[in-house]
């Protein structure tokens, strides 16, 4: 949608009472705003209602008061849903999409941030350089509801202590089968050790550094 059309749709939703005033740059909620009540209104939604139930459950520790931004026009709060809807018959597809964006963004604002780790491995085998990197999501948190963001496609599995993993790599010299064992340390570091590389019938032992 163009910015002009988006604002027109937002004005429609505002005039009908479904979202707050859209022409604002305020990015911090007043301490007087009852955020829990706003969230609770979405509890029965067929799509994100289950996430709302988790968010309101103190046992999940998913709730987080939103961060305060640097803008406050003193007249309007940040854009947020003001009335529940599972979809109105008179809405266009764009009305549905924009309402969903506002709700999901608001729920993300009161959720814990996502937590992840990145692992980078560099290997020197008989003068040949190999490297691999990837991310491990430790806790998705707000990403469970805010589907408009992702951490890309370079994901690797979440490894556990003592697990043995085999990776098959292809290059111009043939197949490399990497067998490695590793431990997950309490301080959050990944320790790779005992890497055995089988290459063209020869076996090389490579010691890998710690990767955060």
Instruction: Determine the Cα–Cα distance for residues 26 and 74; give it in Å rounded to an integer.
Output: 8
Q: How far is CA 80 from the centre of its chain?
A: 20
- Residue found by looking up tokens 């691999």 in the block: 132
CA-based nearest residue to 19, from 111, 92, 98: 98
pLDDT of residue 69: 79
What's the maximum distance between 2 C-alpha atoms anywhere in the chain? 73
Catalytic residue (choose from 21, 84, 159, 184): 21
CATH 1.10.290.10-classified regions of the chain: 3-109
pLDDT of residue 197: 34
pLDDT of residue 204: 31
**CB count in 10 Å sphere of residue 29:** 22
Superfamily of domain 3-109: Topoisomerase I, domain 4 (1.10.290.10)
Residue 23's contacts (CB-CB under 8 Å, 6 or more residues apart) are: 7, 76
pLDDT of residue 189: 38
pLDDT of residue 84: 97
Active site residue 21: yes
Q: What residues of the chain score a pLDDT lower than 50?
A: 164-212
Residue 142: how many CA atoms within 13 Å on its side-chain side?
21
| End-to-end Cα separation, the chain, in angstroms | 40
């Amino acid at each position: 949608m163009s910015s002009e059309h988006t604002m027109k749709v937002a004005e429609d939703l505002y005039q009908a009472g479904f979202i707050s005033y859209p022409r604002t740059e305020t990015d911090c909620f007043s301490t007087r705003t009852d955020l829990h009540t706003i969230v609770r209104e979405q509890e029965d939604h067929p799509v994100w209602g289950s996430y709302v139930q988790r968010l309101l459950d103190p046992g999940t520790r998913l709730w987080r008061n939103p961060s305060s931004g640097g803008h406050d026009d003193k007249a309007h709060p940040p854009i947020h849903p003001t009335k529940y809807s599972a979809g109105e018959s008179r809405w266009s597809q764009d009305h549905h999409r924009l309402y969903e964006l506002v709700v999901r963004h608001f729920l993300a604002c009161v959720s814990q941030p996502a937590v992840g780790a990145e692992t980078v491995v560099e290997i020197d085998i008989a003068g040949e350089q190999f490297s691999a990197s990837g991310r491990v999501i430790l806790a998705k948190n707000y990403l469970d509801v805010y589907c408009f963001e992702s951490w890309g496609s370079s994901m690797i599995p979440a490894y556990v202590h003592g697990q043995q993993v085999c990776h098959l790599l292809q290059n111009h010299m043939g197949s490399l089968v990497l067998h490695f064992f590793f431990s997950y340390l309490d301080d959050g570091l990944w320790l790779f050790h005992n890497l055995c590389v089988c290459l063209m019938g020869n076996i090389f032992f490579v010691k890998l550094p710690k990767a955060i």
